[in-house]
Chain A
């Protein structure tokens, strides 16, 4: 299985400050069709995961523009430009190129 290594595993951020989460994949995530199927999910405490970003950098409907995704190949990042209290939770990255789909370990974001 493709291994995705997330870092950091925990992040304490001051309200209004930025945050960045990194994911590195053991295999290239460029599919044979040229697309890169890499998503980011947010899981607030006690809730189901919610997709934030699909195909590296596309925000889902209703996701604030302070969330942005980037990267290519084997290295990807999620940036939160100005952290708000509602952003507390665990963030997961996921690859959908190699079977089976695999997730990173998760990054817990809390407010300092």
Chain B
């Protein structure tokens, strides 16, 4: 079965770039779309964006100017980079498998990574 293993630093300085990686096992990268979701402390879930195995991306509008999601099929990985971070970006970040509708909207999120707690602080 599909498993997602997240990695990346847990502390990022303000105005820096948050970088996380999700390593996929048990499935081909072509089998799914690959999403990122985050959860600020004590709050609910916020969808961030997705990437396909061909590199097609779609980002939530509120983060679009600062966000890059990439895929590396040779390593069975996809990654998230969020630039110019502030304390408001402090959250648990999750990667997840996904499928999308004909309209391009993700609706799956069947399998999730273990989560990475990222704190933005000097």
Binding site for B on A (CB under 8 A): 31-33, 35, 37, 39, 41, 48-51, 54-55, 60, 92, 94-106
Contact = CB atoms under 8 A, between A and B. Distances in A.
Taking residues whose C-beta sits less than 8 angstroms from the other chain, chain B's interface range is 20 to 34
A92 B105 CA distance: 18
B101 A97 contact: yes
A94 B58 contact: no
Contacts of A101: 47, 105-107
The prevalent SS among residues of B at the interface is: loop
B2 to A, nearest CB: 12
Given A48-B94, A50-B112, A96 B44 contact: no
17 contacts: A33-B101, A48-B113, A48-B115, A49-B45, A49-B109, A51-B108, A55-B107, A60-B110, A96-B101, A96-B108, A97-B103, A97-B105, A97-B107, A100-B105, A101-B107, A102-B47, A103-B44
